[in-house]
Structure 1
Amino acid sequence: MLTSSPQAAQAGTRELAWISPLRHLRRPGEPPLDLGSIPWLGHALEFGRDVASFLTRMKDKHGDIFTVLLGGRYVTVLLDPHSYDKVMWEPRTRLDFHAYAVLLMERIFSVQLPHYDPSNEKAKMKPTLEHSNLQALTDAMYANLHTVLRGDPAEAAGDWHESGLFEFCYSGLLRAGYLTLFGVEASPGTLESQAQDRTHSANIFHTFRQLDLLLPKLARGSLSAGEKDQVRSVRGHLWKLLSPARVATRALRSSWLESYLLHLEEMGASVEMQGRALVLQLWATQGNMGPAAFWLLLFLLKNPEALAAVRRELQCILCQPGQPVSQMSALPPKALDSTPVLDSVLSESLRLTAAPFITREVVVDMALPLADGREFSLRRGDRLLLFPFLSPQRDPEIYTDPEAFKYNRFLNPEGTEKKDFYKGGKQLKNYNLPWGAGHNQCLGKNFAIYSLKQFVFLALMHFDLKLVRADEEIPEFDLSRYGFGLMQPKNDVLVRYRAQL
């Protein structure tokens, strides 16, 4: 999530389709067609500069379904959330969600897996993220967050420290997530082994971050010569750090990791390819966690009322076990499921900042029925794109002041979760889609939510955390991150923090 031969064939077909005068025309029953003014490229440059602004302009011009030409590809965009289920539950024989994922796996991570079947992989990995396995992961994550955030003697001294909030969140969550999934230095842990875990996980994060910064260009094939050299070097280093041989030496490896390695072996993946696949999984499992925590904490720090409400709720968790944060080995499971205010804050933060693409390849000529009774013809070889960031998440018909952060937007007056949102007078099933839906539902959603809650709990209850500048503006998005999950900021925001003694 390098162009293989099927994709290359599709691209060649698409170029011929552009040359053919028949494809210049919209057939009866097809969505509005907008070719742009540049042959073959079409709207690719504008799409690449700012996806959200471009698609908003197209929606204003054509309505909630239209087809655009993007670099030789015809992409039909659907922005009607009432109709999303029609796409997300369509069988692979008509709308395929595997081909694009395989394309990006190879282009970004150089991963080529024999007989790869994402549906089969999800079915095998799902039990490792549920029930007792989920509880084991959650407990391990809390312990590793302690190691990363609280374990450094300099951090525990009670002195003030200054850091970028994005760096603080991304580093803390990715390092703890890595230790949780891939294992720790020793069990039981000692002060020395925990110090080694902090050093090793910091190396993993800083190396991973170099690749992450180039990920949008990697995906779009727009790296400079120097950047290509950097990617080769960084990927090679990560492959060594996460090689099966190195991972095998670590203690307390998760059942998720053991099952995934077994799955790779059963597929016939080479040892080298297994290491590459583990780097892919590090990104897939951890790449959005830090950015999600950054936006959530920043919105809270900029909204005193919301921050006070969340702190009151988290204080109740502290009261339950009757012990200070420093002595808590885990958060009570019931407590993690009893935070309606924090749940609303998380939903609102994700509504404002989660911007993944949901894509399908059109496998056969087909009719796509919409919820309002309309029906549109789709052509084999085209791509279908949903962009929930625009609708429902930023849709003014669904949300009042959709650009504003409102911490209680997903709360009813009595404190229960609010689920009734409407568009066109009809209640929406899909009113917020940061986790995907249908065949694209995030497999690790519950683990991710628990991890974010634990991180926020420690950040707010163990640390005094404040903005260096109270009047700090919310940073703009790095527009190149549209389509890859959580948006990242153009610039970091400085915070001061110290451990509460």
Structure 2
Amino acid sequence: MWTVLLLLGLAVLLLFKRRTRRRNEPPLDKGIIPWLGHALEFGKDAAKFLTRMKLKHGDIFTVRAAGQYITILLDSNCYDAVLSDVVSLDQISYAQSLMKRIFSLNLPSHNPESEKKRAKMYLQGDTLTQLCSSMQKNLNLLMTPSDKGLETSEWNKDGLFNLCYSLLFKTGYLTIFDAEKNNTAALTEIYEKFRQFDKLLPKLARTTVNKEEKQIASSAREELWKWLTQSCLDGKTGRQSWLGSYIQQLQDEGVDAETQRRAMLLQLWVTQGNTGPTAFWVMGYLLTHPEALRAVNDEIQCVKHLCPEEGRNHTPVFDSVLSETLRLTAAALITRQVMHDKTIRLSNGREYHLRRGDRLCVFPFISPQMDPEIHQQPEMFQFDRFLNADGSKKKDFFKQGVRVKYPSVPWGTKDNLCPGRHFAADAIKELVFTILTRFDLELCDKNAVLPLVDTSRYGFGVLQPAGDLEIRYRLRS
């Protein structure tokens, strides 16, 4: 009897809470499963799902996923105007929710805007030059024959993803976290623990980890907290560095020592979670596209006589390769919580109403990056897509005769640009140039193609491969 009454009560509750589309709201697609809606399809392959929704509904629509209503905006020419409203659209509450799930971190009084301003001070201008110089030294240290145990004529096999990710992770860790530079075994252990954690990050965000995975993630976090505490919170980190400034900010905000310790893992992932995978895709596209590889090698020969800082600013071919790689692999979801009812206007002049309590998501991977009206054959890698005929950087892209603001959005939008983008790009360039100049490198299988992407990574920055690309390499004499 009580079971029947409970079921009737739930049915009535669902009936009264049933949502319908109101006038001037985006198209509403709730899916066929009550409450759950499109959550499973969304989480399994967000790009495939949202592309299907775009074809069905257009550049704006609302979907239901696990009880949450999410409006997806795919008109790239209005991203800036919409996301500039930080009063009605809050980026902090959802970010804090993810920090708790992924990093077991609670920073309720933290000020992201203040953190961004501090980061700009240390990751741009003259300090960027110093940071890049330190990064180059650390990378060279890690790639010396004695460190890797290489003989000049000896071929070594590895997975390209592992090679790129491990080298850039270790380089970034030494550079940004000011860690000890003479313990190769410790660096390898930190990297392996980080990879254990990083592999589970999408599941942690979606709270779909099983018991065993939860234990693995918890153990990896504890080990990383221990290592990072030794590197960052024992007085070794200078207050004039970006990391030292961040620690000082946390202390000024009254954050306790344990929370500071946990915050270091967040910063480790933010600074190192995307550069290694990006370098893999760059090298992978070059190795599987001989014309692109020849063009980059020719450019390296042209700039090798320049000083490092000057050389980094005269590489239009590589810059196009990097832009094209990021167009194909940068797939973050920019998410905001709708705090107040709000009307937004698309670039065609049409207005739509957003409800308080919903979420708004922008997914640049679909638009503009994979939009066939902006990029011909968008699924194909074209190394010179971002070059004009005269070899200069191409900036003008059009859709239906109208210039698009962004042909690609790998670093965020106007008011939310990643402050560390210049350092990340320089680190990727330095790794690629070093590999191409100091090593003979080739595919183990001449006919190999790049692995498919891990579709669970859509929404979490640069994509990662579902497999690896086997290579062999040796030091040049």
Matched, 1:29 2:24: yes
Letter in 1 for 2:40: L
Aligned to 2:393: 417
Inter-partner Cα distance in structure 2 for 1:17 and 1:397? 46
C-alpha offsets along residues 186-239 of structure 1, whole Å, 9 cap, x if unaligned? xxxxxxxx542x322212111111000110110000111111111111111111
1:141-180 alignment runs, 5 A limit:
141-150=135-144, 151-152=146-147, 154-155=149-150, 157-180=152-175
1:249 Cα deviation from its structure 2 partner: 6.5
Inter-partner Cα distance in structure 1 for 2:83 and 2:164? 32
Would you say the 8 A contact 1:43–1:68 is kept in 2?
yes
Matched, 1:282 2:277: no
Matched, 1:113 2:107: yes
Would you say the 8 A contact 2:329–2:463 is kept in 1?
yes
C-alpha offsets along residues 300-329 of structure 1, whole Å, 9 cap, x if unaligned? 001111101101111123233xxxxxxxxx
Inter-partner Cα distance in structure 1 for 2:263 and 2:225? 9
C-alpha offsets along residues 69-120 of structure 1, whole Å, 9 cap, x if unaligned? 0000000011111121122212x21111111111111110011125111112
Alpha-carbon distance change, 245 to 430 in structure 1, aligned in 2, over 3 angstroms = closer
C-alpha offsets along residues 359-379 of structure 1, whole Å, 9 cap, x if unaligned? 111110111111110000000
Would you say the 8 A contact 1:86–1:370 is kept in 2?
no
1:156 Cα deviation from its structure 2 partner: 5.3
Inter-partner Cα distance in structure 2 for 1:362 and 1:312? 50
Inter-partner Cα distance in structure 2 for 1:57 and 1:17? 32
Inter-partner Cα distance in structure 2 for 1:254 and 1:283? 21
Alpha-carbon distance change, 20 to 83 in structure 1, aligned in 2, over 3 angstroms = farther
- From 425, 437, 440, the equivalent of 1:461 is 437
Structure 2 unaligned runs (5+)? 1-9
SS of the equivalent of 2:62 reads: strand
Matched, 1:183 2:169: no
Inter-partner Cα distance in structure 1 for 2:234 and 2:226? 13
After superposition, the CA RMSD in angstroms is 1.9
Letter in 1 for 2:452: E
Aligned to 1:488: 464
Alpha-carbon distance change, 247 to 141 in structure 1, aligned in 2, over 3 angstroms = farther
Inter-partner Cα distance in structure 1 for 2:436 and 2:393? 23
Would you say the 8 A contact 1:31–1:376 is kept in 2?
yes
Aligned to 2:190: 204
Matched, 1:445 2:431: no
Would you say the 8 A contact 2:327–2:369 is kept in 1?
yes
- From 111, 131, 134, the equivalent of 1:137 is 131
Inter-partner Cα distance in structure 2 for 1:29 and 1:225? 44
Would you say the 8 A contact 1:18–1:40 is kept in 2?
no
Aligned to 1:368: 344
Identity %: 48
Q: How many residues align?
A: 467
Structure 1 unaligned runs (5+)? 1-14, 186-193, 321-330
Alpha-carbon distance change, 37 to 383 in structure 1, aligned in 2, over 3 angstroms = same
Aligned to 2:6: none
Letter in 2 for 1:226: E
Runs of 4+ in 1 over 6 A off after TM superposition: 15-18, 251-254
Would you say the 8 A contact 2:59–2:75 is kept in 1?
yes
SS of the equivalent of 1:296 reads: helix
Inter-partner Cα distance in structure 1 for 2:201 and 2:137? 30
Aligned to 1:12: none
1:199-348 alignment runs, 5 A limit:
199-243=185-229, 248=234, 255-320=241-306, 332-348=308-324
TM-score between the two structures when normalised by the length of structure 2: 0.94
SS of the equivalent of 2:149 reads: helix
Alpha-carbon distance change, 311 to 253 in structure 1, aligned in 2, over 3 angstroms = farther
TM-score between the two structures when normalised by the length of structure 1: 0.90
Matched, 1:102 2:57: no
Would you say the 8 A contact 1:243–1:272 is kept in 2?
no
SS of the equivalent of 1:152 reads: helix
Letter in 2 for 1:274: Q
Letter in 1 for 2:117: A
Aligned to 1:7: none
Letter in 2 for 1:78: L
Alpha-carbon distance change, 66 to 218 in structure 1, aligned in 2, over 3 angstroms = same
Aligned to 1:51: 46
SS of the equivalent of 1:319 reads: coil
Alpha-carbon distance change, 249 to 258 in structure 1, aligned in 2, over 3 angstroms = closer
Aligned to 1:500: 476
Letter in 1 for 2:444: V
Alpha-carbon distance change, 294 to 16 in structure 1, aligned in 2, over 3 angstroms = farther
Would you say the 8 A contact 2:233–2:261 is kept in 1?
no
Inter-partner Cα distance in structure 1 for 2:475 and 2:127? 31
Inter-partner Cα distance in structure 2 for 1:245 and 1:173? 18
Would you say the 8 A contact 1:66–1:76 is kept in 2?
yes
Would you say the 8 A contact 1:310–1:342 is kept in 2?
yes
SS of the equivalent of 2:411 reads: coil
Inter-partner Cα distance in structure 2 for 1:414 and 1:17? 67
Inter-partner Cα distance in structure 1 for 2:411 and 2:87? 24
Inter-partner Cα distance in structure 1 for 2:269 and 2:263? 10
Alpha-carbon distance change, 248 to 174 in structure 1, aligned in 2, over 3 angstroms = same
